[in-house]
Amino acid sequence: MNISIGNDHAGVDLKEAIISHLGQKGHELHNHGTNNEDSVDYADFIHPVAQDVGKKKSDVGIIICGSGNGAAMTANKHQNIRAALCWSAEISKLSRQHNDANILSIPARFVNLEQALEMVDLFISTPFEGGRHQKRIEKIPCK
């Protein structure tokens, strides 16, 4: 799977661990995040992920900031992006099954590494159920 990842200064450690974890599984990764803990503006590192996913250069995206909120809000400004802020494995799985989320937003300050990796694994392996959820997805974009 082709995956884009972006983070701000709060997500450096999680990003590095996720890249290592997914790389060992053979996924192709595009790192748009910062690589140090110097304060940065999250939007500068999230927009490229959303652009990759929106233009289908990547299958899915993973974005990380302190609360996950700013990253998700930024990504969701892009057409055809459904970034889901997740803080548990169950929410990550449901975001794919019911919402066809294509970007996982992780709150670095509120989850540990084990939780983050479980969310990532479920996010990339869970298919969208379609059916009754499809019509709901079609109502998300503003016209």
The catalytic residue positions are: 98
Radius of gyration of the chain, Cα coordinates, nearest whole angstrom: 14
Partner residues linked to 5 by β-bridges:
31, 62
Contacts of 106 (CB under 8 A, 6+ apart): 11, 14, 62, 63, 64, 68, 86, 116, 119, 120
Closest by CA to 126, choosing from 104, 95, 81, is 95
Q: Contact at 8 Å (CB) between 68 and 24?
A: no
